[in-house]
Amino acid sequence: MDNLIEKALAAAQDGWEIAQGWLTSPAAWSQFALLVLAYLAAFFAAKRLGPVLKRVIAPPEAQRHIVARARRFVLIFLPLLLPLLAYAFTAMGEQVTRSLFGSGAVIAFGKRVFLFLAARILVKHIVTDPFLRLLGRYILVPVAALYALGLTDEIVVWLAGLTVTMGNISFSVLSIVRGVIAGGVLFWLGRWSNDQSAAFIGQQQDLRPATRTLAIKAAEIAIFGAAFLLLMNIMGISLTSLAVLGGAIGVGLGFGLQKIASNFISGVILLLEGQATVGDYVELDGGEAGTIVKMTARAAILETFDGRWIVVPNEDFIVTRVTNYSDSGSANRYEAPFSVSYKTDINRVPAIIEAAVAKLDFVLTDPEGPDCELRGFGESGIDFACEFWVNGIDDGRNKYTSQVLFAIWNALKEADIEIPYPHRVIEIKGGGAA
Protein backbone atom coordinates (compact mmCIF):
# COMPACT_ATOMS: atom_id res chain seq x y z
CA MET A 1 0.00 0.00 0.00
CA ASP A 2 2.87 2.37 0.87
CA ASN A 3 4.48 1.60 -2.49
CA LEU A 4 1.23 2.49 -4.29
CA ILE A 5 1.00 5.80 -2.39
CA GLU A 6 4.60 6.63 -3.32
CA LYS A 7 3.88 5.93 -7.00
CA ALA A 8 0.76 8.12 -6.84
CA LEU A 9 2.71 10.99 -5.30
CA ALA A 10 5.45 10.62 -7.91
CA ALA A 11 2.84 10.68 -10.69
CA ALA A 12 1.29 13.81 -9.17
CA GLN A 13 4.69 15.48 -9.04
CA ASP A 14 5.34 14.59 -12.70
CA GLY A 15 1.93 15.97 -13.63
CA TRP A 16 2.65 19.25 -11.84
CA GLU A 17 5.95 19.61 -13.67
CA ILE A 18 4.24 18.93 -17.00
CA ALA A 19 1.56 21.52 -16.21
CA GLN A 20 4.24 24.12 -15.35
CA GLY A 21 5.94 23.41 -18.64
CA TRP A 22 2.70 23.88 -20.54
CA LEU A 23 1.96 27.20 -18.84
CA THR A 24 5.31 28.66 -19.96
CA SER A 25 5.39 27.22 -23.48
CA PRO A 26 4.12 29.21 -26.53
CA ALA A 27 3.51 25.93 -28.33
CA ALA A 28 1.29 24.76 -25.47
CA TRP A 29 -0.70 28.01 -25.55
CA SER A 30 -1.20 27.56 -29.29
CA GLN A 31 -2.53 24.08 -28.67
CA PHE A 32 -4.88 25.38 -25.97
CA ALA A 33 -6.18 27.89 -28.51
CA LEU A 34 -6.72 25.12 -31.06
CA LEU A 35 -8.61 23.09 -28.47
CA VAL A 36 -10.94 26.02 -27.82
CA LEU A 37 -11.45 26.55 -31.55
CA ALA A 38 -12.11 22.83 -32.08
CA TYR A 39 -14.72 22.80 -29.32
CA LEU A 40 -16.47 25.92 -30.65
CA ALA A 41 -16.48 24.52 -34.17
CA ALA A 42 -17.89 21.23 -32.87
CA PHE A 43 -20.54 23.10 -30.87
CA PHE A 44 -21.86 25.03 -33.86
CA ALA A 45 -21.57 22.01 -36.18
CA ALA A 46 -23.51 19.80 -33.74
CA LYS A 47 -26.16 22.49 -33.37
CA ARG A 48 -26.67 22.52 -37.14
CA LEU A 49 -26.19 18.81 -37.84
CA GLY A 50 -28.27 17.50 -34.93
CA PRO A 51 -31.72 18.42 -36.28
CA VAL A 52 -30.73 17.34 -39.80
CA LEU A 53 -29.52 13.92 -38.66
CA LYS A 54 -32.59 13.47 -36.49
CA ARG A 55 -34.86 14.27 -39.43
CA VAL A 56 -32.97 11.91 -41.76
CA ILE A 57 -32.57 8.97 -39.38
CA ALA A 58 -35.95 9.06 -37.60
CA PRO A 59 -38.44 6.66 -39.28
CA PRO A 60 -42.16 7.43 -39.65
CA GLU A 61 -44.08 6.93 -36.42
CA ALA A 62 -46.24 4.15 -37.87
CA GLN A 63 -43.29 1.95 -38.90
CA ARG A 64 -42.51 -0.89 -36.47
CA HIS A 65 -40.31 -3.25 -38.54
CA ILE A 66 -36.74 -4.18 -37.62
CA VAL A 67 -35.12 -1.45 -39.76
CA ALA A 68 -37.29 1.22 -38.12
CA ARG A 69 -36.36 -0.07 -34.67
CA ALA A 70 -32.66 -0.01 -35.63
CA ARG A 71 -32.98 3.61 -36.82
CA ARG A 72 -34.63 4.60 -33.54
CA PHE A 73 -31.80 2.85 -31.71
CA VAL A 74 -29.23 4.94 -33.59
CA LEU A 75 -31.09 8.13 -32.65
CA ILE A 76 -30.40 7.69 -28.94
CA PHE A 77 -26.68 8.25 -29.61
CA LEU A 78 -27.18 11.78 -30.97
CA PRO A 79 -26.03 13.40 -27.67
CA LEU A 80 -22.54 12.02 -28.46
CA LEU A 81 -22.33 14.20 -31.56
CA LEU A 82 -20.71 17.19 -29.80
CA PRO A 83 -17.81 15.39 -28.04
CA LEU A 84 -17.11 13.17 -31.04
CA LEU A 85 -17.01 16.15 -33.42
CA ALA A 86 -14.73 17.96 -30.97
CA TYR A 87 -12.47 14.88 -30.92
CA ALA A 88 -12.38 14.77 -34.74
CA PHE A 89 -11.62 18.49 -35.10
CA THR A 90 -8.95 18.21 -32.39
CA ALA A 91 -7.33 15.32 -34.25
CA MET A 92 -7.07 17.51 -37.35
CA GLY A 93 -5.61 20.32 -35.24
CA GLU A 94 -3.07 17.90 -33.80
CA GLN A 95 -1.61 17.27 -37.23
CA VAL A 96 -1.17 21.02 -37.70
CA THR A 97 0.56 21.57 -34.33
CA ARG A 98 2.91 18.64 -34.78
CA SER A 99 3.94 19.90 -38.20
CA LEU A 100 4.51 23.47 -36.90
CA PHE A 101 5.91 22.91 -33.41
CA GLY A 102 6.95 19.27 -33.45
CA SER A 103 4.86 18.69 -30.31
CA GLY A 104 1.22 17.84 -29.63
CA ALA A 105 1.06 16.78 -25.99
CA VAL A 106 -1.49 19.41 -24.97
CA ILE A 107 -3.83 18.76 -27.85
CA ALA A 108 -3.48 14.99 -27.36
CA PHE A 109 -4.55 15.54 -23.75
CA GLY A 110 -7.54 17.52 -25.03
CA LYS A 111 -8.54 14.63 -27.30
CA ARG A 112 -8.56 12.29 -24.33
CA VAL A 113 -10.65 14.77 -22.34
CA PHE A 114 -13.26 14.85 -25.11
CA LEU A 115 -13.42 11.03 -25.00
CA PHE A 116 -13.95 11.27 -21.24
CA LEU A 117 -16.86 13.69 -21.84
CA ALA A 118 -18.32 11.25 -24.38
CA ALA A 119 -18.14 8.45 -21.80
CA ARG A 120 -19.94 10.58 -19.20
CA ILE A 121 -22.70 11.51 -21.68
CA LEU A 122 -23.06 7.85 -22.68
CA VAL A 123 -23.55 6.71 -19.09
CA LYS A 124 -25.67 9.64 -17.93
CA HIS A 125 -28.01 10.24 -20.88
CA ILE A 126 -27.97 7.20 -23.17
CA VAL A 127 -27.58 3.95 -21.26
CA THR A 128 -30.83 2.99 -19.53
CA ASP A 129 -30.13 -0.61 -18.53
CA PRO A 130 -29.42 -0.63 -14.74
CA PHE A 131 -26.57 -3.13 -14.97
CA LEU A 132 -24.84 -1.36 -17.87
CA ARG A 133 -25.29 2.00 -16.17
CA LEU A 134 -23.64 0.55 -13.04
CA LEU A 135 -20.73 -0.72 -15.14
CA GLY A 136 -20.43 2.62 -16.88
CA ARG A 137 -20.53 4.65 -13.69
CA TYR A 138 -17.95 2.64 -11.77
CA ILE A 139 -15.77 1.21 -14.57
CA LEU A 140 -16.11 3.05 -17.90
CA VAL A 141 -16.04 6.62 -16.54
CA PRO A 142 -13.10 5.98 -14.15
CA VAL A 143 -11.17 4.23 -16.94
CA ALA A 144 -11.86 7.15 -19.29
CA ALA A 145 -10.64 9.57 -16.59
CA LEU A 146 -7.45 7.55 -16.10
CA TYR A 147 -6.94 7.43 -19.87
CA ALA A 148 -7.37 11.21 -20.07
CA LEU A 149 -4.66 11.60 -17.41
CA GLY A 150 -2.39 9.11 -19.17
CA LEU A 151 -2.34 6.64 -16.27
CA THR A 152 -3.93 3.60 -17.91
CA ASP A 153 -0.65 1.79 -18.63
CA GLU A 154 0.45 1.96 -15.00
CA ILE A 155 -2.99 0.87 -13.73
CA VAL A 156 -3.11 -2.05 -16.19
CA VAL A 157 0.32 -3.28 -15.07
CA TRP A 158 -0.69 -2.96 -11.42
CA LEU A 159 -3.99 -4.85 -11.90
CA ALA A 160 -2.24 -7.56 -13.91
CA GLY A 161 0.11 -8.10 -10.97
CA LEU A 162 -2.73 -8.64 -8.49
CA THR A 163 -3.98 -12.25 -8.48
CA VAL A 164 -6.92 -14.06 -6.92
CA THR A 165 -6.30 -17.71 -6.08
CA MET A 166 -9.05 -20.34 -5.80
CA GLY A 167 -7.44 -23.69 -5.07
CA ASN A 168 -5.19 -24.50 -8.02
CA ILE A 169 -6.71 -21.79 -10.23
CA SER A 170 -5.37 -18.23 -10.23
CA PHE A 171 -6.88 -15.17 -11.91
CA SER A 172 -5.45 -11.73 -12.27
CA VAL A 173 -7.66 -8.86 -11.22
CA LEU A 174 -7.23 -7.42 -14.70
CA SER A 175 -8.75 -10.55 -16.30
CA ILE A 176 -11.67 -10.41 -13.86
CA VAL A 177 -12.33 -6.74 -14.68
CA ARG A 178 -12.04 -7.50 -18.39
CA GLY A 179 -14.45 -10.42 -18.00
CA VAL A 180 -17.01 -8.33 -16.09
CA ILE A 181 -16.94 -5.59 -18.71
CA ALA A 182 -17.04 -7.98 -21.68
CA GLY A 183 -19.73 -10.11 -20.01
CA GLY A 184 -21.93 -7.11 -19.28
CA VAL A 185 -21.69 -5.82 -22.84
CA LEU A 186 -22.09 -9.26 -24.46
CA PHE A 187 -25.11 -10.30 -22.44
CA TRP A 188 -26.73 -6.88 -22.85
CA LEU A 189 -26.29 -7.23 -26.61
CA GLY A 190 -27.57 -10.79 -26.33
CA ARG A 191 -30.69 -9.68 -24.50
CA TRP A 192 -31.32 -6.91 -27.02
CA SER A 193 -30.81 -9.35 -29.91
CA ASN A 194 -33.09 -11.86 -28.23
CA ASP A 195 -35.84 -9.24 -27.83
CA GLN A 196 -35.56 -8.29 -31.49
CA SER A 197 -35.61 -11.89 -32.70
CA ALA A 198 -38.54 -12.74 -30.40
CA ALA A 199 -40.53 -9.78 -31.74
CA PHE A 200 -39.75 -10.77 -35.34
CA ILE A 201 -40.68 -14.43 -34.83
CA GLY A 202 -43.83 -13.45 -32.92
CA GLN A 203 -45.05 -11.49 -35.96
CA GLN A 204 -44.91 -14.57 -38.23
CA GLN A 205 -48.58 -15.44 -38.12
CA ASP A 206 -48.14 -18.24 -40.69
CA LEU A 207 -46.41 -20.35 -38.02
CA ARG A 208 -48.34 -22.26 -35.38
CA PRO A 209 -48.18 -20.67 -31.89
CA ALA A 210 -46.23 -23.67 -30.58
CA THR A 211 -43.73 -23.41 -33.43
CA ARG A 212 -43.25 -19.68 -32.79
CA THR A 213 -42.62 -20.32 -29.08
CA LEU A 214 -40.14 -23.10 -29.87
CA ALA A 215 -38.31 -20.89 -32.39
CA ILE A 216 -38.08 -18.07 -29.83
CA LYS A 217 -36.62 -20.44 -27.22
CA ALA A 218 -34.15 -21.90 -29.73
CA ALA A 219 -33.00 -18.42 -30.76
CA GLU A 220 -32.57 -17.44 -27.10
CA ILE A 221 -30.43 -20.51 -26.37
CA ALA A 222 -28.31 -19.93 -29.50
CA ILE A 223 -27.74 -16.21 -28.76
CA PHE A 224 -26.76 -16.61 -25.12
CA GLY A 225 -24.76 -19.76 -25.85
CA ALA A 226 -22.70 -17.87 -28.41
CA ALA A 227 -22.26 -14.98 -25.95
CA PHE A 228 -21.03 -17.39 -23.26
CA LEU A 229 -18.51 -19.07 -25.58
CA LEU A 230 -17.23 -15.68 -26.76
CA LEU A 231 -16.84 -14.52 -23.16
CA MET A 232 -14.86 -17.64 -22.28
CA ASN A 233 -12.58 -16.94 -25.25
CA ILE A 234 -12.08 -13.30 -24.18
CA MET A 235 -11.19 -14.35 -20.64
CA GLY A 236 -8.77 -16.98 -21.93
CA ILE A 237 -10.51 -19.91 -20.22
CA SER A 238 -10.00 -23.29 -21.89
CA LEU A 239 -13.25 -24.88 -23.03
CA THR A 240 -11.68 -28.34 -22.62
CA SER A 241 -11.26 -27.85 -18.88
CA LEU A 242 -14.80 -26.51 -18.71
CA ALA A 243 -16.09 -29.64 -20.46
CA VAL A 244 -14.42 -31.91 -17.89
CA LEU A 245 -15.66 -29.79 -14.99
CA GLY A 246 -19.14 -29.53 -16.51
CA GLY A 247 -19.34 -33.30 -16.93
CA ALA A 248 -18.46 -33.88 -13.28
CA ILE A 249 -20.98 -31.28 -12.12
CA GLY A 250 -23.61 -32.66 -14.48
CA VAL A 251 -23.35 -36.17 -13.04
CA GLY A 252 -23.70 -34.80 -9.52
CA LEU A 253 -26.60 -32.51 -10.30
CA GLY A 254 -28.40 -35.05 -12.46
CA PHE A 255 -29.52 -37.06 -9.46
CA GLY A 256 -30.86 -34.03 -7.64
CA LEU A 257 -32.41 -32.22 -10.62
CA GLN A 258 -34.31 -35.04 -12.28
CA LYS A 259 -37.62 -33.20 -11.95
CA ILE A 260 -36.22 -30.05 -13.54
CA ALA A 261 -34.79 -32.08 -16.44
CA SER A 262 -38.11 -33.91 -16.84
CA ASN A 263 -40.03 -30.62 -16.91
CA PHE A 264 -37.60 -29.15 -19.44
CA ILE A 265 -37.95 -32.14 -21.79
CA SER A 266 -41.73 -32.12 -21.31
CA GLY A 267 -41.76 -28.43 -22.29
CA VAL A 268 -39.88 -29.19 -25.50
CA ILE A 269 -42.36 -32.01 -26.31
CA LEU A 270 -45.30 -29.68 -25.71
CA LEU A 271 -43.84 -27.07 -28.05
CA LEU A 272 -43.11 -29.64 -30.75
CA GLU A 273 -46.45 -31.45 -30.61
CA GLY A 274 -48.61 -28.40 -29.92
CA GLN A 275 -50.92 -30.23 -27.50
CA ALA A 276 -51.22 -27.04 -25.48
CA THR A 277 -49.88 -23.61 -26.31
CA VAL A 278 -50.16 -19.99 -25.25
CA GLY A 279 -53.77 -18.80 -25.47
CA ASP A 280 -55.40 -22.21 -24.90
CA TYR A 281 -57.90 -22.71 -22.09
CA VAL A 282 -57.03 -26.00 -20.39
CA GLU A 283 -58.19 -28.02 -17.39
CA LEU A 284 -55.84 -30.52 -15.78
CA ASP A 285 -56.77 -33.73 -14.04
CA GLY A 286 -55.92 -32.12 -10.71
CA GLY A 287 -58.57 -29.43 -11.16
CA GLU A 288 -56.31 -26.57 -12.27
CA ALA A 289 -57.99 -24.62 -15.07
CA GLY A 290 -57.18 -21.40 -16.89
CA THR A 291 -55.74 -19.79 -19.99
CA ILE A 292 -52.07 -20.47 -20.73
CA VAL A 293 -50.44 -17.03 -20.73
CA LYS A 294 -46.79 -18.11 -20.71
CA MET A 295 -44.75 -21.26 -21.26
CA THR A 296 -41.26 -21.39 -19.74
CA ALA A 297 -38.57 -24.07 -19.78
CA ARG A 298 -39.87 -25.47 -16.48
CA ALA A 299 -43.58 -24.75 -16.24
CA ALA A 300 -46.67 -23.28 -17.86
CA ILE A 301 -48.48 -20.35 -16.26
CA LEU A 302 -52.27 -20.49 -16.25
CA GLU A 303 -54.39 -17.40 -15.66
CA THR A 304 -57.77 -18.13 -14.10
CA PHE A 305 -60.87 -16.12 -14.93
CA ASP A 306 -60.49 -14.18 -11.65
CA GLY A 307 -56.95 -13.04 -12.53
CA ARG A 308 -54.89 -15.48 -10.46
CA TRP A 309 -51.83 -17.17 -11.91
CA ILE A 310 -51.20 -20.88 -11.42
CA VAL A 311 -47.75 -22.33 -12.15
CA VAL A 312 -48.14 -25.86 -13.49
CA PRO A 313 -45.03 -28.02 -14.15
CA ASN A 314 -44.69 -29.06 -17.79
CA GLU A 315 -44.55 -32.71 -16.75
CA ASP A 316 -48.20 -32.54 -15.62
CA PHE A 317 -49.27 -31.89 -19.22
CA ILE A 318 -47.56 -35.12 -20.30
CA VAL A 319 -48.30 -37.64 -17.52
CA THR A 320 -51.85 -36.56 -16.60
CA ARG A 321 -55.09 -36.08 -18.51
CA VAL A 322 -55.54 -32.57 -19.90
CA THR A 323 -58.74 -31.14 -21.35
CA ASN A 324 -58.02 -28.44 -23.94
CA TYR A 325 -61.12 -26.35 -24.52
CA SER A 326 -59.57 -24.13 -27.17
CA ASP A 327 -57.11 -25.25 -29.80
CA SER A 328 -56.14 -22.17 -31.82
CA GLY A 329 -59.56 -20.58 -31.33
CA SER A 330 -61.77 -23.59 -32.21
CA ALA A 331 -65.52 -23.46 -31.54
CA ASN A 332 -67.02 -24.79 -28.31
CA ARG A 333 -70.56 -25.82 -27.43
CA TYR A 334 -72.42 -24.74 -24.31
CA GLU A 335 -75.98 -24.99 -23.09
CA ALA A 336 -78.34 -22.73 -21.16
CA PRO A 337 -81.01 -24.59 -19.13
CA PHE A 338 -84.44 -23.10 -18.36
CA SER A 339 -88.01 -24.16 -17.52
CA VAL A 340 -91.53 -23.17 -18.55
CA SER A 341 -94.89 -23.61 -16.88
CA TYR A 342 -97.02 -26.72 -17.41
CA LYS A 343 -99.70 -24.40 -18.84
CA THR A 344 -97.44 -23.60 -21.82
CA ASP A 345 -97.85 -24.95 -25.32
CA ILE A 346 -94.37 -26.47 -25.43
CA ASN A 347 -94.48 -26.88 -29.22
CA ARG A 348 -93.98 -23.10 -29.55
CA VAL A 349 -90.93 -22.92 -27.27
CA PRO A 350 -88.09 -24.27 -29.51
CA ALA A 351 -88.77 -21.88 -32.39
CA ILE A 352 -89.06 -18.85 -30.08
CA ILE A 353 -85.86 -19.61 -28.18
CA GLU A 354 -83.76 -20.59 -31.21
CA ALA A 355 -84.74 -17.38 -33.03
CA ALA A 356 -83.89 -15.22 -29.99
CA VAL A 357 -80.51 -16.87 -29.36
CA ALA A 358 -79.56 -16.80 -33.04
CA LYS A 359 -79.73 -12.97 -32.96
CA LEU A 360 -76.74 -12.80 -30.56
CA ASP A 361 -73.63 -11.82 -32.52
CA PHE A 362 -71.29 -14.29 -30.77
CA VAL A 363 -73.49 -17.37 -31.45
CA LEU A 364 -72.23 -19.39 -34.42
CA THR A 365 -74.22 -21.05 -37.17
CA ASP A 366 -71.37 -23.43 -38.02
CA PRO A 367 -71.00 -26.26 -37.08
CA GLU A 368 -74.59 -25.87 -35.86
CA GLY A 369 -77.01 -23.11 -34.96
CA PRO A 370 -78.89 -22.82 -31.65
CA ASP A 371 -80.79 -25.99 -30.74
CA CYS A 372 -83.54 -25.92 -28.10
CA GLU A 373 -84.26 -29.39 -26.65
CA LEU A 374 -86.86 -30.76 -24.27
CA ARG A 375 -85.00 -32.33 -21.35
CA GLY A 376 -87.74 -33.56 -19.00
CA PHE A 377 -90.70 -32.84 -16.76
CA GLY A 378 -89.71 -31.36 -13.43
CA GLU A 379 -91.52 -30.81 -10.19
CA SER A 380 -92.39 -27.18 -10.92
CA GLY A 381 -92.18 -26.94 -14.71
CA ILE A 382 -91.08 -28.43 -18.01
CA ASP A 383 -87.27 -28.42 -18.41
CA PHE A 384 -85.60 -27.24 -21.62
CA ALA A 385 -81.98 -26.47 -22.60
CA CYS A 386 -80.68 -24.40 -25.49
CA GLU A 387 -77.39 -25.62 -26.97
CA PHE A 388 -75.26 -23.05 -28.81
CA TRP A 389 -71.77 -22.80 -30.29
CA VAL A 390 -69.31 -19.93 -29.71
CA ASN A 391 -65.79 -19.25 -30.88
CA GLY A 392 -64.03 -19.06 -27.51
CA ILE A 393 -64.33 -20.06 -23.88
CA ASP A 394 -67.26 -19.26 -21.60
CA ASP A 395 -65.22 -17.97 -18.66
CA GLY A 396 -65.11 -14.87 -16.48
CA ARG A 397 -64.23 -12.59 -19.40
CA ASN A 398 -66.67 -14.11 -21.90
CA LYS A 399 -69.99 -14.66 -20.14
CA TYR A 400 -71.78 -16.20 -23.10
CA THR A 401 -74.23 -18.34 -21.10
CA SER A 402 -75.31 -15.33 -19.04
CA GLN A 403 -76.16 -13.34 -22.16
CA VAL A 404 -78.02 -16.30 -23.66
CA LEU A 405 -80.11 -16.65 -20.49
CA PHE A 406 -80.98 -12.95 -20.68
CA ALA A 407 -82.13 -13.45 -24.28
CA ILE A 408 -84.22 -16.49 -23.27
CA TRP A 409 -85.87 -14.56 -20.43
CA ASN A 410 -86.77 -11.63 -22.68
CA ALA A 411 -88.09 -13.93 -25.43
CA LEU A 412 -90.32 -15.85 -23.01
CA LYS A 413 -91.67 -12.61 -21.52
CA GLU A 414 -92.50 -11.23 -24.97
CA ALA A 415 -94.33 -14.48 -25.82
CA ASP A 416 -96.29 -14.39 -22.50
CA ILE A 417 -94.80 -17.74 -21.50
CA GLU A 418 -94.61 -18.19 -17.76
CA ILE A 419 -91.35 -19.21 -16.12
CA PRO A 420 -92.33 -21.38 -13.14
CA TYR A 421 -91.10 -21.28 -9.59
CA PRO A 422 -91.75 -23.85 -6.85
CA HIS A 423 -95.20 -23.85 -5.22
CA ARG A 424 -95.87 -25.47 -1.86
CA VAL A 425 -99.29 -26.44 -0.53
CA ILE A 426 -99.49 -26.71 3.24
CA GLU A 427 -102.34 -28.86 4.55
CA ILE A 428 -103.19 -28.60 8.24
CA LYS A 429 -104.99 -31.61 9.57
CA GLY A 430 -107.05 -31.43 12.70
CA GLY A 431 -107.91 -28.30 14.55
CA GLY A 432 -107.25 -27.41 18.13
CA ALA A 433 -110.23 -26.98 20.48
CA ALA A 434 -111.13 -23.43 21.33
The residue out of 289, 324, 359 marking a domain boundary is: 324
Which range scores top for mean pLDDT: 106-115, 295-304, 384-393? Answer: 384-393
Domain assignment present for 208: no
Q: What is the mean pLDDT of residues 297-321?
A: 81
Domain assignment present for 94: yes
CATH code where residue 318 lies: 2.30.30.60
Domain assignment present for 245: no
Tell me which residue range forms the domain holding 280: 276-324
pLDDT of residue 347: 92
Is the domain of 31 the same as that of 125? yes
Is the domain of 54 the same as that of 121? yes
Whether residue 100 contacts residue 60, with contact meaning beta carbons closer than 8 Å, is answered with no
Is the domain of 316 the same as that of 373? no
> Which residues, in sequence order, are bridge partners of residue 172?
163
Is the domain of 371 the same as that of 397? yes
Domain assignment present for 122: yes
Q: What is the mean pLDDT of residues 401-408?
A: 91
- 3-state secondary structure at position 423: coil
Q: Is the pLDDT of residue 19 over 60?
A: no
Task: Record the pTM.
Answer: 0.46
**pLDDT per residue over 124-171, tens digit each?**
888 887 777 887 888 888 888 887 777 777 777 777 777 766 655 666
Domain assignment present for 198: no
Domain assignment present for 227: no
Is the domain of 311 the same as that of 342? no
Q: How many domains does the chain have?
A: 3
Is the domain of 35 the same as that of 99? yes
Domain assignment present for 205: no
* Residue of 155 and 98 predicted with greater confidence: 155
Is the domain of 53 the same as that of 30? yes
**Is residue 399 left, alpha or beta, with left meaning phi > 0 and alpha meaning psi from -120 to 50?**
beta
Is the domain of 302 the same as that of 367? no
Q: Is the pLDDT of residue 395 over 80?
A: no
> Which residues, in sequence order, are bridge partners of residue 239?
none
pLDDT of residue 409: 93
Is the domain of 102 the same as that of 86? yes
Whether residue 80 contacts residue 46, with contact meaning beta carbons closer than 8 Å, is answered with no
The confidence band for 434, taking pLDDT boundaries of 50, 70 and 90, is very low
pLDDT of residue 265: 78
Q: How many CA atoms lie within 13 A of 385 on its CB side?
A: 11
DSSP-derived pairing of the beta strands 299-303 and 322-324? unpaired
- 3-state secondary structure at position 382: strand
Q: In sequence order, what are the residues at sequence separation of 6 or more whose Cβ sits closer than 8 angstroms to the Cβ of residue 105?
A: 18, 22, 28, 31
CA 296 – CA 313 distance, rounded (Å): 9
CATH code where residue 379 lies: 3.30.70.100
Domain assignment present for 81: yes
**pLDDT per residue over 182-240, tens digit each?**
777 777 777 777 777 777 777 777 766 666 777 777 777 788 778 777 777 776 666 66
**pLDDT per residue over 26-39, tens digit each?**
556 666 777 778 78
| Inter-CA distances, 40 with 54, 90, 97, 119, 341, Å | 21, 11, 18, 20, 94
- Overall size of the chain counted in residues: 434
The confidence band for 413, taking pLDDT boundaries of 50, 70 and 90, is very high
